[in-house]
Structure 1
Amino acid sequence: MTSTPQLSVVVPVYNEQDNVAPLVGEILAALRGRCDFEIVYVDDLSKDATLERLKQLQATTPELRVVRHLVNSGQSTAIRNGVKAARGAWIATLDGDGQNDPADIPKLIAERDKTDAGVKLFAGWRVNRQDSGSKRWASKWANAIRSRMLRDSTPDTGCGIKLFEREAFLDLPYFDHMHRYLPALMQRAGWKTVSVPVNHRHRASGVSKYNNLNRALVGIRDLRGVAWLITRSRRTGIEEL
């Protein structure tokens, strides 16, 4: 691709060899003919055939670009490096496991196009989650605590499908697991956010990279850090004299 795309779809992956081709196909079906776009996959040093499958797809998918980590670094770093590599002014993110539906990306774009310019993040809201009962319960509990502490008015921050402005995202403070706190961080920066109901699907292949315990232990520490960042925020407009 030589022209600058309007949209970059960033997909972080780790050991998702059987989900790569179906998800790329769905992204193409959702976006071809609707806008100029690119797909940026970030391979977090997978141990399976994920990278090989992506290389094969590049031969027939001109929109597809592939970035590979030299060290396994986690989802937040993969998203950030994908956004840094992206050329579009707006970014759509998807989890690489196929549970997010690419057909929802046009819905997020339509929501953006009818909303004022002060909204820089459109976050997916999984109103009918297809996870296990224990994971849904843990997520509900975590969302309630997060909402109480951060007051971000967001019902679901863990959903992988989001649409946001690239420049606004790269201006946010970076830390591991920051992708779970994007609404609060965007609001801290002075921008507005909107939650949009989206589809959610069962994982078709592979296994989850998280469990409820490690999510909870990391989440408590991160919540305290984000709450501290919010209290230390200072914003003002400027004028040139």
Structure 2
Amino acid sequence: MPPVTERTSSLELPCQDGCVNVSIVVPIFNEEGNVGEFVECVFAALTPTSRAFELIVVDDGSRDASGEMLLRLAAERPWLRPVRLVRNYGQSSALQAGFDRVRGRYVVTLDGDMQNDPFDIPAMLDRLDSDAGIDVISGWREHRQDKALSRRLPSYIANALISRVTGVQLNDYGCALKAYRREVIDRIRLYGELHRFIPSLARDVGARIAEMPVRHHARTHGVSKYGIDRTFRVVLDLMLIVFFMRYRQRPLHAFGGLGLWLAALGVAILSWLGLLKLLGEHIAGRPLLTVGVLLLVVGVQLVVAGLVGELLSRIYHEGRGGAQYHVRDTRN
């Protein structure tokens, strides 16, 4: 990582509404050993670009001195905007807290543990400036410095799963260093643990995504918050994101389609048993009768669930005015 320059009077760079070019959003949790160096490094990386920037650091309920250090640093750095959450909500909620406060034309995210390199940010911003066909640039840690199998193996499995299921092919979904056009961030909302799927959510709202190799450094302070158990959570979240992307605006097709197949199978079984009954056979003790009734009842329930989902979707889009589409541009 390039050396951090000494602080100068330009620490007081103005960041008024309307002039901010880049908003950098960083969630942290128990990073007191890194936060001071990280803030200085971001300043050293962005100052030579002459871009007006703001650094929004979201303290996600840290139990160490991270929050107090941020407040001290922000006292003489107007471009540093700490956001302290009352408790630990998780990375997705922390990112959303930062997204709700951005003012820049571009939004950049990265981790505050000094493993991502802030000096990669200018190149990502230059590419967004020069290529109007790209809305999101996702970092790719081509040469990862994580040696532990508990971090590399879950990452490999997660990248393969998410790319295959969502259709958004990326080598490194787990890299926090990403750059977005502001309108993409304004169109998505994060909750739960959807931060892993931001590129997929961005593609769902029409964003065009590219990948760029970035540097990666070994952690020198603090401890990692990830482990092998993350792989299992990814699988569960992946089920949610697939449903969200494919059936958010047509839940009846998801529930109703499965319900009709089950109900049709149940009706076929009961019809066959009814025919046997008419022919004089005894059917009361047959397990197939229970299966037929169960399939019919479950199928009807799924269809009803799909109809309820459609009603909720209409309430959301019509009652609250939530748009079902996003416009890239218009003419005349």
Shorter-chain TM-score range: over 0.9
**CA displacement 1:153-197 (0-9 Å, x = unmatched):** 111111011111233223124322221111111111111111110
Query: Which of 138, 141, 146 is the equivalent residue of 1:126?
Result: 141
Query: Which of 176, 180, 184 is the equivalent residue of 1:168?
Result: 184
TM-score (norm 1): 0.92
Alignment match, 1:36 = 52
Residue aligned with 2:143, SS: coil
Alignment match, 1:9 = 24
How far apart are 1:45 and its partner, in Å? 1.3
- Runs of 4+ with deviation above 6 angstroms: none
Counterparts in 2 of 1:85 and 1:237: CA distance versus 1, 3 Å: closer
Which deviates further from its counterpart, 185-194 or 164-173?
164-173
Residue aligned with 1:212, SS: coil
Q: CA–CA distance in 2 between the matches of 1:131 and 1:236? A: 40
Q: CA–CA distance in 1 between the matches of 2:326 and 2:105? A: 23
Contact 1:14 1:45 in 2 (8 A): yes
Counterparts in 2 of 1:201 and 1:222: CA distance versus 1, 3 Å: same
The answer to whether structure 1 residue 103 and structure 2 residue 119 are counterparts is: yes
How far apart are 1:24 and its partner, in Å? 0.6
Work out the number of aligned pairs and report it.
Answer: 238
Query: Which of 94, 119, 139 is the equivalent residue of 2:110?
Result: 94
Query: Which of 63, 67, 75 is the equivalent residue of 2:91?
Result: 75
Query: Which of 184, 201, 207 is the equivalent residue of 2:200?
Result: 184
**CA displacement 1:107-137 (0-9 Å, x = unmatched):** 1111112212x42211111000011241112
User: What pairs up with 1:198-217 in 2 under 5 angstroms?
Assistant: 198-213=214-229, 215-217=230-232
The answer to whether structure 1 residue 147 and structure 2 residue 167 are counterparts is: no
Alignment match, 2:287 = none
Alignment match, 1:228 = 243
Contact 2:116 2:177 in 1 (8 A): yes
Which deviates further from its counterpart, 229-238 or 38-47?
229-238
Counterparts in 2 of 1:188 and 1:51: CA distance versus 1, 3 Å: same
TM-score (norm 2): 0.68
Contact 1:83 1:166 in 2 (8 A): no
Which deviates further from its counterpart, 130-139 or 103-112?
130-139
Contact 2:15 2:52 in 1 (8 A): no
Contact 1:44 1:72 in 2 (8 A): yes
Rg larger in structure: 2
Gaps of 5+ in 1: none
Contact 1:6 1:36 in 2 (8 A): yes
Greater share of strand: 1
Greater share of helix: 2
Percent of paired sites with the same residue? 37
Contact 1:90 1:166 in 2 (8 A): yes
The answer to whether structure 1 residue 113 and structure 2 residue 99 are counterparts is: no
Residue aligned with 1:5, SS: coil
How far apart are 1:62 and its partner, in Å? 2.4
The answer to whether structure 1 residue 47 and structure 2 residue 47 are counterparts is: no
Contact 1:188 1:233 in 2 (8 A): no
Q: CA–CA distance in 2 between the matches of 1:37 and 1:51? A: 21
